[in-house]
Structure 1
């Protein structure tokens, strides 16, 4: 598979009263196809959030947007554009970061979380020097992180429930 230059093609999801921001690195091939976050059927993101919030797992994009709004979760990715091979985070080069600071000033975000090590590392490199807001890294919900069980994801991710 060849490296291609990709541009993030869908908007951040947030409301003025969003209190947590969850950042991924860059959308997977499947997410780019469906034009929404965590679109790969094997990604555990939506199943995990539904379990944490004791809510039904949203299926459609509209249900996912309503779920995020109901639980005051903002969602975006660190990268606006990059060179990437398929969905491989390890292949990411020539990063142009998203304007995370622009979202932070329009919301009541109290805490920022990274879905995976790549998002955390890229945030610390490109965004934190601008926003001066720390990020908390969480294990990736990606199917590529199969070594991390669903139970382990639940255990670590439950901290998002404590943000007031």
Structure 2
């Protein structure tokens, strides 16, 4: 997976009643291996959502999809084509070729009211490629502190509190 063009391997997880779209940057190597979003065992994404919603942490793909549906969350990434310059999943190793067609997703799923990103790279991709979007929610995506194990300065419960506030979940 090093220095070759990579195409996003997953479709967005989205439902007719999804209200929040959470965008990562691009699937990690572990996510490629496990065939689903946020699959690195030390990534805090699923822990954070479990804390926010006071719900059991989903353990497998089926449970994760059901969890997202139950809480009206859509999941995708900002980048659909890139080159991974080094053999790791860090965002700074990605050479971005093409963003995902987020505007098309928002046209199709009209209940989505908020767009949030889980990395500064995803935020920058959105701001660069969708700065003149007809969708105002793309003009200023909500930045959620990264659930990556590389962002360990905040504990999952601290991140959950920030996410909950930013997403206006009570």
| 1:149 counterpart = 2:142 | no
The whole-number CA distance in structure 1 between the counterparts of 2:67 and 2:166 is: 15
* Equivalent pair of 1:97/1:127 in contact (CA under 8 Å): no
1:13-58 Cα offsets, whole Å, 9 max, x none, are: 0011100000000000000111110000100000110110000000
Q: Which residue of 1 aligns with 2:164?
A: 158
Instruction: Tell me how far 1:4 sits from its aligned partner.
Output: 2.7
**Cα pair 1:19 1:163 within 8 Å, conserved:** no
Question: Could you say if the C-alpha distance between residues 87 and 67 of structure 1 is closer, same or farther in structure 2, counting changes exceeding 3 Å?
Answer: same
Given the two structures, how large is their TM-score scaled by the length of structure 2? 0.89
Q: 2-side partners of 1:105 and 1:116: how far apart?
A: 24
Q: How does 1:55-70 map to 2 (within 5 A)?
A: 55-70=55-70
* Structure-2 residue corresponding to 1:104: 106
Task: For 1:49 and 1:122, locate their aligned partners in 2 and report how far apart those are by CA, in whole Å.
Answer: 24
Equivalent residues of 2:23, 2:76 under 8 A apart: yes
CA RMSD of aligned residues (A): 1.8
Secondary structure, counterpart of 2:132 in structure 1: helix
Unaligned runs of 5+ in 2: none
Asked if the contact 1:110/1:163 (under 8 Å) is kept, the reply is no
Partners of 1:149 and 1:28 in 2: how far apart? 21
Residue in 2 aligned with 1:37? 37
Q: Which one of 120, 125, 149 corresponds to residue 122 of structure 1?
A: 125
User: Residues 20 and 113 of structure 2 are in contact (CA less than 8 Å); yes or no, is this contact kept in structure 1?
Assistant: yes
Alignment partner of 1:137 is 2:137: no
Q: Taking structure 1 as the reference length, what is the TM-score of the superposition?
A: 0.92
**Post-superposition offset of 1:110:** 0.4
CA apart distance, 1:161: 5.1
1:20–1:111 contact (8 Å) kept in structure 2: yes
Distance in 2 separating the partners of 1:37 and 1:142: 12
Check the 8 A contact 1:20/1:160 in 2, yes or no. no
Question: 1:160 deviation in Å?
Answer: 5.3
Question: Pairwise mapping of residues 88-103 of structure 1 onto structure 2 (< 5 A)?
Answer: 88-103=90-105
Structure 1: gaps spanning 5 or more residues: none
